[in-house]
Amino acid sequence: MSRPVAMITGASSGIGRACAAECARNGFDVAIAARRTDDLESLAESIAGDHDCQVMVRGVDLHDHEETVRIVPEVLERFGRLDALLNVAGVADMTPLHEMSLGSLQRTLVVNTIAPALLVREAWPALVKAPRGVVINISSLASIDPLPGGGAYGMSKSAIEGLMRSIHVESAASGAGIRSFALAPGCIDTPMLRSALDGIELPDGAEIPMDEFVGHVMDCVQGVHDDFDGQTIFVAREGHFSRDVADTKAALQDLWGG
C-alpha cells in the first residue's frame, strides 16, 4: 500500500514548515506549497533525506484562484491519493479598520479563507476515498480576541473556523467520513507573529513551543483528538489546550491582564 499523503500550504516557514516535517516524520509523503520556492526546495531536500519520503514542491500565490485550484489535481497526479489537507498559509496586514484598503481586505480574506475553501472543494473526493481523510485549518486566538489593527485577520480566522464546522456538517450528512479541526494558537515564534507584535514584549509563558503546537496538529491528523472533530481547539499558552472559549479567555487574562 502506498504511503499516506499530506498537503501543507504555507510550508516555506513557521507552522507550515514544521507541520510538513512532522508529517514526513510520521510516515507521510508530502506536497508542500507556498510562494517562496527556494525555501520549499530546501525543506524538501531536508525532509526527504531525513525521512526517506517523497516530496512534491509547488510554488503558488493563493491569492490567484486559478493557480489555487490546480494544486490538488497535481498532487493526485503525482501521488494518486490525498489523506490530509493542512491549510496553514496566511497573511496578516496590521491596519486599523478605518484605514484599511479594499485591496488589503480582499487579499486577507482570499488567502486566509477563500483559498482554503477552494482547496477543500478540490480535495473532497480524494479525502472521501482516503482511509482517514482529514482537514486541518490553522486559525488564531484572533478569532475570539482580535488585536487592535488586526480586524481583517481576525475576521478571516473566524471564517476559517466556520469552514471547519461546515466540513464537519457536510461530511456527517453525506457519510463522507472526513474529519475537520481548527487549531487556534496564541503566540508561536513565526515571522508573521514577529511582524504583528513588533516592539511588544511577551509575558512569561506566552510563547508556545513549536513542537508542542505541531504535536497537537499531528494528534488531530492521526485520530488522537477525534472527539474534537468539528470543533476549534484553542492553545492560548504553553501547556494550554482547550475547546472552551471562556477557559481560553481566562488563560489570556492571566497572561496579559487588563
Question: What per-residue confidence (pLDDT) applies to 108?
Answer: 94
pLDDT-derived band at 189, boundaries 50, 70, 90: confident
Residue 219 has pLDDT above 60, yes or no: yes
Angle at CA 40, nearest 5°, toward 87 and 31? 50
Residue 35 has pLDDT above 70, yes or no: yes
Question: What per-residue confidence (pLDDT) applies to 199?
Answer: 60
Residue 241 has pLDDT above 70, yes or no: yes
Contact 197, 203 (CB under 8 A): no
Residue 196 has pLDDT above 60, yes or no: no
Q: Break the chain into its structural domains and give their ranges.
A: 5-256
Question: What per-residue confidence (pLDDT) applies to 252?
Answer: 83
Q: pTM for the complete prediction?
A: 0.93
β strands within the chain, DSSP E: 5-9, 29-34, 55-59, 84-87, 134-138, 179-185, 232-235
Which residue, among 180, 163, 87, 63, has the nearest Cα to 127 in the 3D structure? 180
Give the highest mean pLDDT range of 107-116, 139-148, 189-198: 107-116
Give the highest mean pLDDT range of 39-43, 246-250, 252-256: 39-43
Contact 31, 58 (CB under 8 A): yes
Contact 48, 21 (CB under 8 A): no
DSSP 200: P
Q: Is 207 helix (H, G, I), strand (E, B) or coil?
A: strand
Separation CA 236–CA 241 (nearest Å): 7
Residue 169 has pLDDT above 90, yes or no: yes
The residues carrying an active-site annotation are 153
Residue 192 has pLDDT above 70, yes or no: no
Contact 127, 170 (CB under 8 A): no
Q: What is the pLDDT of residues 68-121, one digit of tens each?
A: 999 999 999 999 999 999 999 999 888 888 999 999 999 999 999 999 999 999
Separation CA 64–CA 111 (nearest Å): 9
The angle, 0 to 180 degrees and rounded to 10, between the axes of the packed helices 151-174 and 115-129 is 20
Q: Is 125 helix (H, G, I), strand (E, B) or coil?
A: helix
**% of residues, the chain, pLDDT over 90:** 79
Question: What per-residue confidence (pLDDT) applies to 70?
Answer: 97
Q: What is the pLDDT of residues 1-11, one digit of tens each?
A: 589 999 999 99
Looking at per-residue confidence, does 228 or 148 come out higher?
228
Mean pLDDT of 146-152: 86
Q: Is 31 helix (H, G, I), strand (E, B) or coil?
A: strand
Question: What per-residue confidence (pLDDT) applies to 146?
Answer: 85
Q: What is the mean pLDDT of the chain?
A: 92
Could you tell me the sign of the dihedral formed by the alpha carbons of 91, 223, 218, 24, in that order? negative
In CATH, the architecture of 5-256 is 3-Layer(aba) Sandwich (3.40)
